[in-house]
Amino acid sequence: MKPTRRKSVLEKIARKNMAETAKLRSAIGEQEKQLNEINELMTRIKELQENSGDQSCISPNELRAARWYSLKLSEQCMILENRIEFVETELAHLRKSSRDKSYRNSKLEKLIDEAKQMVRLEKDRVQEKKTSFVKSSGNG
């Protein structure tokens, strides 16, 4: 493959990887935002659970209502714990993908630099041939 073609192809791949890296960073930001929101909800539910234990029930209906309320809070707490686990797993996966892309991008940058050097060397050779041809035809 010609050095100019190689350089062009490598640059296109690097641009594509940079775009994918930007998408990954955006997705990581969204997941972190979602995780913060879930943690805030979890804090709020735990506060509600603490506050619900303070009331004293007089009638059986109040006792049933308090029990139902406590059960619903426990269910919501479990759901949020599962969501936190899922989001943390997703974040770990996205961060790994982001690190992999960054590593590939650094390798591509090195390859692009090498390709640019090859292009410069090729141009220098062509220029050298032209100047040597001009010198040899001038003598003859």
Sequence ranges of the domains in the chain: 3-132
- Residue 23, both tokens: 């998408």
The answer, as to whether pTM is greater than 0.75, is no
The answer to whether 49 and 73 have CB atoms below 8 angstroms apart is yes
What is the b/e burial string over 58-81, where b = at least 16 CB atoms within 10 angstroms of the residue's CB?
A: eeeeeeeeeeeeeeeeeebbeebe
The per-residue pLDDT for 100 is 92
- Parts of the chain with a pLDDT under 50: none
The CATH code for residues 3-132 is 1.10.287
The pLDDT value recorded for residue 90 is 96
